[in-house]
Copies of this chain bind each other. A is one copy, B any other.
Amino acid sequence: MKLTIVKSSAVFITLTVLGLSLVRAQDPLPSWNEGSAKQAILEFVKTTTTQGSPQFVSAEERIATFDQDGTLWVEHPMYTQIVYCLERVPALVKARPGLRNKEPFKTVLSGDREAIAKLSTNELVEILAATMTGMSVDEFSAEAKKWITEAKDPRWKRPYTELTYQPMQELLRYLRANGYKTYIVTGGGQDFVRVYAEQTYAIPPEQVVGTAGGTKYGYDKNGRPFLTKEPKLLLNDNNAGKPEGIHLMIGRRPFAAFGNSTGDKQMLEYTKEGDGARLAMIVLHDDAEREYAYGPAQGLPDTKVGMFTQALYDEAKKNGWTVISMKSDWKVIFPFETK
**Taking beta carbons and an 8 Å cutoff, which residues of A are in contact with B?**
2, 6-7, 9-11, 13-14, 17-18, 21, 60, 63, 137, 181, 190-191, 194, 198, 204-206, 208, 212, 214-217, 224-227, 234-235, 240, 243-244, 247-252, 266, 269-270, 273
Do A6 and B14 contact each other (CB < 8 Å), given the known contacts A244-B217, A251-B206? Answer: yes
Q: Is the pair B217, A240 in contact by a Cβ cutoff of 8 Å?
A: yes
Closest to A191 in B: B251
Closest to A270 in B: B225
Q: Is the pair B13, A225 in contact by a Cβ cutoff of 8 Å?
A: no
**Nearest Cβ on chain B to A333's Cβ, whole angstroms:** 29
Closest to A60 in B: B204
Q: Is the pair B273, A248 in contact by a Cβ cutoff of 8 Å?
A: no
Bound CA–CA A14/B14 (angstroms):
10
Bound CA–CA A209/B9 (angstroms):
39
What copy number does this chain have within its complex?
2
Bound CA–CA A217/B216 (angstroms):
28
Closest to A226 in B: B273
Residue of A2, A266, A270 with most partner-chain B CB within 10 A: A270
Q: Is the pair A17, B6 in contact by a Cβ cutoff of 8 Å?
A: yes
Q: Can you list 26 A-B pairs, Cβ within 8 angstroms, ordered by A? A: A6-B14, A6-B17, A6-B21, A7-B14, A10-B10, A10-B13, A13-B13, A60-B204, A181-B206, A205-B250, A205-B252, A206-B206, A206-B249, A206-B252, A208-B251, A216-B244, A217-B244, A217-B266, A217-B270, A224-B273, A225-B269, A227-B243, A227-B247, A234-B234, A234-B235, A249-B249
* Chain B positions within 8 Å of A190 at CB level: 248, 251
**Nearest Cβ on chain B to A175's Cβ, whole angstroms:** 16
Q: Is the pair A212, B250 in contact by a Cβ cutoff of 8 Å?
A: no
